[in-house]
Structure 1
Amino acid sequence: MVAAHAELVQAHAHLTAGAACQDCHDHVVSGVHAKLGCRECHGVAGNVADPTTIDNNAVGCTGCHEQAERIFDHAMSTRVAEQEFCQRSWSQADPQFFDTNCMGCHVTSCLDCHGEGHAIDRPDTETCLQCHNGYFVGWDFSGRAPREDSVRYQRGEQNHEQHYLKMRPDVHSEVGMDCGDCHTMESLQAGQVVASRCIDCHDPDPTVIEHSVAAHLDNMECVSCHAAWSAQEYGTFYIKTTDSSNRNYFRVRQTNDQYVKSSYLKRQNSPILGLNERGRVSPIRPQFIAYYSEIENNQPVGDENRLLAAEWKAYTPHTIRRGTVMCDSCHNEPRRFMLQPEEKRIYRPDRDGLGLSSFWRPEGQLIVNGSFYPLERFQRMSRRDRNYAELYVRKWQTFLKKDETSSAPQ
């Protein structure tokens, strides 16, 4: 930085008083900064070449946008959680794993989100999706889910050079809201995940049957019922190849020249439920169930498909709809709560040598920001007492009334 500063000072040393930037530079400023002079961002002496970068704490931006530099302390820039997960998993086998596979998206400049340097603008949802795509939360808001890794499924529509499954978008997306309506700059600078929660805008309607149950409102996050679907990946395999022609046998989408990646199973259905850090029922999904293999000179190095971590996270699917699932999609549905009975298993990762008896049982797995739902609590909520039966009948009656209306003669 010091050397770059000195070069700029020297480059401008010959200028006389009254010299205009446009005498040498042909940049045209547009957008919200169109009326600003060059020196207001680039310094009085023109000694700030890039006023937006993390290297100088965005010195050209913070003169007007106070505390804007705090965005560089946010998870979008530090990627601390991802780095810590890699240290617990794939980096045990390859210390360079994060640098090789995970450095594509992290904020290093205000321009990463705010457009070209001389055409600053407010980011919209598509700007956010430059990074928040694939398995990361964000794609789902617009009704996009990751496809299987096999090349046979790499077809159909694309977004940011990735094929996706077309799913039902979030209702907030359908009415024209952008990410920034809930994830404001002020909240990001403060290190918060979100500025507004559901109840900041919505009052639960007590006439809705589900809202009439106190346990629902007291113990559950709204998204537990209102998330229409959740992108889930079970078993994420990274295979490192060195001087190995059999890399070509892996018919999957290539990520870089060192690794190929595939998954055991991807699903896009109702989210699995657990408890978040607040102790409330919340959607959960695998952060990654991480497997590692290495091939050198077409021969395996060490054990294949080593299970390095099986970690889940409580999270918020951006797939909100007005309606909800039926009562028995949770009550007396054990797999929804990671309590799948052994006799009900269809997928058997244990028989494939993958170290887990089931992806939907807690043994050998953990939630990093919460806990799995206790069996005793699930058994209590699955007792179909008189109150449950009455509400269940009322719920079905609401459907019948809608059918009567829809079938009425015009």
Structure 2
Amino acid sequence: MGAERIRRRVAVLAGLAAACALLAGCDVPVLDSPLAARGCRRCHPVRIDPAHDLACTRCHGGDPSGRTRAAAHRGLVAEPAHPDRMAATCGGCHPAETAAAARDRHFTLAGEIGAVWGAFFPGDRPPALSALPVEEPPETARGLVADLLRRRCLRCHVYDRGDDYAGVRHGTGCAACHLARGGGGLASHRFTRRVPDERCLACHYANFVGWDYYGRFEKDYEEDYRAPLSRGEPLPRPYGVEWHEMTPDVHRRAGLACTDCHPAGPCSDRRRARGCLDCHLGGGQRGGAPGLDAARVGHRPADRARVDCAVCHAVWSVRDRGRALTRQDAPDYDFWWYLRVQGSSEVERIVTGNVEFRPPYRPPSLMRDKVSGRSRPGVWFEGFFDRRWTPVPVGPDGRGRLRVLRPVLDLSVSYLDADGLVPFDNLRPAGLETPAPVECREVSPACRPYTPHTIGRADALRTLRVERWLRREGAGARGR
């Protein structure tokens, strides 16, 4: 009995010794500890690609000679690739790339800001991202739209890490594209030159160009339409909302990645992506791409300047109409429970966490500014009149060229303050006075041309419509 007891104690002590040995690498350096003399990687064992295998302090700062965590982390830079710091860190070796990135629309979001601001306030010069005005509470239409952009719309940009969903969380600045994330943090410290599609989709998801290339169409927000169960189990939501599986783009099915047509990205001043004619025109087709039959409608040289390829070849498109955005400073969370899943992890967390509380015990309703990082009162909620993928609306753009259209600016913005008053009700883009959802037949304040990435065989009925349109426009031009 005594010998058995001794053997058990020896086994326990051996186990404890092994555990201590395993945990030693995670220990916090303390004064006079041998760990303190071994630098950052004794506590942060990472594998880095050869080109970036530099001293940790080169990018992250800190003091590798510090003998405590506080001392070692003094002056630490957690996100050295952030746009505010990338010129000093990444720019030391990549000055041209960081300078080009700072001007690129992925960093400035000038296209998104300009489209929304121009729709509501035509004639205004759209503000830069960091210069979007802050009014708290909003007293003007410009202050309300700026608050909408800062706290609800512009969640996918390189100043912010994105929503807390597995598929959309990303790094800031250069790290958004060149470092992989996963499991709630950095998956690898190996920088990659080629950007895989999943990093593009971390921002280009939901019902926007990018997701459609993979044949995904975001479901309606209501629980009944989402059907969030499969065989009694919840479906994963790596992008916030479940999706319908649609027909992927033919180029996706052929194995082309995003960067095959968009090779430059934000790190180069070469803006032009590869277009359809770069691969399909003439006898020098790239990669065996089929050439154009110059006798067909839309393929004739005169037609190509007047009709975009997607008008006939888009299999489906995004038609989200009547997007209603409402800021509430004292939300009724019971009302919003049915719509708590709406693509924003912040809204989902706020509604889920506060629905059980009743005034005066309910926590303040705060939402974070995605530009400054500071939280302010009020929560932005979203809903739609309808979400459809067919029919594909087409119409002439500003230059008279036939394009696929989408009602991306069919918006209404409202504000309900903490006292239950409504300072702004159904604020619409200029020229859209009625709250009814729009039909896209031509470019308007709500409808904008775009290039759906849902290419496939030409739609026969749409091709016939194009032929009639070309004849009518040609006859009109001859008549003039």
**Equivalent residues of 2:416, 2:424 under 8 A apart:** no
Aligned to 1:67: 96
1:88-107 alignment, distance < 5 Å: 88=118, 89=120, 91=142, 93=144, 95-107=146-158
3-state secondary structure, aligned to 1:54: coil
Per mean C-alpha deviation after superposition, the further-off stretch among 196-205 and 63-72 is 63-72
| 1:120 partnered with 2:166 | no
Identity of aligned residues (%): 24
Aligned to 2:457: 322
> In terms of Rg, which structure is larger?
2
Selected match of 2:45 from 9, 19, 27: 27
Q: Cα deviation per residue 1:98-118 (whole Å; 9 max; x = unaligned)?
A: 222124211241111112472
In structure 2, relative to structure 1, the CA distance for the partners of 1:298 and 1:52 (3 Å cut) is closer
Shift of 1:206: 2.1
Selected match of 1:54 from 60, 77, 83: 83
Per mean C-alpha deviation after superposition, the further-off stretch among 118-127 and 241-250 is 241-250
Larger RCO (CA within 8 A; separation ≥ 6):
2
**Equivalent residues of 1:244, 1:298 under 8 A apart:** no
Aligned to 1:78: 108
The number of residues matched between the two structures is 320
**Equivalent residues of 2:406, 2:447 under 8 A apart:** yes
**Equivalent residues of 2:61, 2:76 under 8 A apart:** no
1:119-268 alignment, distance < 5 Å: 119-121=190-192, 122-155=194-227, 158-185=237-264, 189-190=268-269, 192=271, 194-203=272-281, 204-206=291-293, 209-210=296-297, 213-245=300-332, 248=335, 251-252=338-339, 253-254=341-342, 255=344, 256=347, 257=350, 258-268=379-389
**Equivalent residues of 1:42, 1:48 under 8 A apart:** no
Cα distance in structure 2, aligned partners of 1:74 and 1:188 = 8
**Equivalent residues of 2:414, 2:424 under 8 A apart:** yes
In structure 2, relative to structure 1, the CA distance for the partners of 1:118 and 1:328 (3 Å cut) is same
Q: Which amino acid aligns with 2:316?
A: W
Shift of 1:297: 6.1
Q: Which amino acid aligns with 2:280?
A: H
In structure 2, relative to structure 1, the CA distance for the partners of 1:277 and 1:305 (3 Å cut) is closer
1:267-346 alignment, distance < 5 Å: 267-276=388-397, 279-296=400-417, 299=420, 301-302=422-423, 304-309=425-430, 310-326=445-461, 327-330=463-466
In structure 2, relative to structure 1, the CA distance for the partners of 1:159 and 1:322 (3 Å cut) is farther
Aligned to 2:130: none
3-state secondary structure, aligned to 1:173: helix
Q: Which amino acid aligns with 2:83?
A: I
Q: TM-score, normalised by structure 1?
A: 0.66
**Equivalent residues of 2:325, 2:383 under 8 A apart:** yes
Q: Which amino acid aligns with 2:148?
A: F
Q: Which amino acid aligns with 2:54?
A: G
**Equivalent residues of 1:146, 1:231 under 8 A apart:** no
Q: Cα deviation per residue 1:102-160 (whole Å; 9 max; x = unaligned)?
A: 24211241111112472222321111111111122111000001222322222356442
3-state secondary structure, aligned to 1:77: helix
Shift of 1:44: 11
- Unaligned runs of 5+ residues in structure 1 are 1-18, 334-376, 384-410
Shift of 1:163: 1.0
Comparing both structures, which one devotes a greater share of its residues to strand?
A: 1
3-state secondary structure, aligned to 1:165: strand
In structure 2, relative to structure 1, the CA distance for the partners of 1:100 and 1:278 (3 Å cut) is same
In structure 2, relative to structure 1, the CA distance for the partners of 1:321 and 1:187 (3 Å cut) is farther
3-state secondary structure, aligned to 1:104: coil
In structure 2, relative to structure 1, the CA distance for the partners of 1:82 and 1:159 (3 Å cut) is same
3-state secondary structure, aligned to 1:314: strand
Cα distance in structure 2, aligned partners of 1:323 and 1:27 = 53
RMSD across aligned positions (CA): 3.5
Cα distance in structure 1, aligned partners of 2:424 and 2:41 = 65
Cα distance in structure 2, aligned partners of 1:95 and 1:288 = 15
**Equivalent residues of 1:236, 1:263 under 8 A apart:** yes
In structure 2, relative to structure 1, the CA distance for the partners of 1:63 and 1:241 (3 Å cut) is closer
Cα distance in structure 1, aligned partners of 2:415 and 2:60 = 51
1:382-393 alignment, distance < 5 Å: none
Q: Which amino acid aligns with 1:171?
A: V
| 1:42 partnered with 2:66 | no
Cα distance in structure 1, aligned partners of 2:412 and 2:265 = 38
Cα distance in structure 1, aligned partners of 2:60 and 2:425 = 56
Q: Which amino acid aligns with 2:195?
A: P
3-state secondary structure, aligned to 1:287: coil
Shift of 1:173: 1.0
3-state secondary structure, aligned to 1:305: strand
Q: Cα deviation per residue 1:325-369 (whole Å; 9 max; x = unaligned)?
A: 333344569xxxxxxxxxxxxxxxxxxxxxxxxxxxxxxxxxxxx
- Unaligned runs of 5+ residues in structure 2 are 1-36, 64-74, 121-140, 160-172, 180-185, 229-234, 282-290, 351-378, 431-444
Q: TM-score, normalised by structure 2?
A: 0.58
